Amino acid sequence: ETGVTQSPTHLIKTRGQQVTLRCSSQSGHNTVSWYQQALGQGPQFIFQYYREEENGRGNFPPRFSGLQFPNYSSELNVNALELDDSALYLCASSPGQANTGELFFGEGSRLTVL
Among 1, 2, 70, 100, binds another protein (CB under 8 A): 100
Q: Of 16-24, 64-72, 75-83, 86-94, which part binds another protein (CB under 8 A)? A: 86-94
Q: Of these, 87, 103, 111, 113, which contacts another protein (CB under 8 A)?
A: 103
Restricting to residues 39-78, which ones interact with another protein according to CB under 8 A?
Answer: 40-45, 48, 55-58
- Beta strand pairing call for 74-78 and 19-24: antiparallel
Taking the least distance from each CB to another protein, the nearer of 18 and 99 is: 99
- Number of amino acids touching another protein (CB under 8 A): 29
Residue range at the interface with another protein (CB under 8 A); choices 15-23, 36-44, 60-68, 73-81: 36-44
What's the 3-state SS for the chain?
A: CCCCEEECCEEEECCCCCEEEEEECCCCCCEEEEEEECCCCCCEEEEEEECCEEEEECCCCCCEEEEECCCCCEEEEECCCCHHHCEEEEEEEECCCCCCCCCEECCCEEEEEC
Residues that bind another protein (CB under 8 A): 4, 31, 33, 40-45, 48, 55-58, 90, 92, 94, 97-108
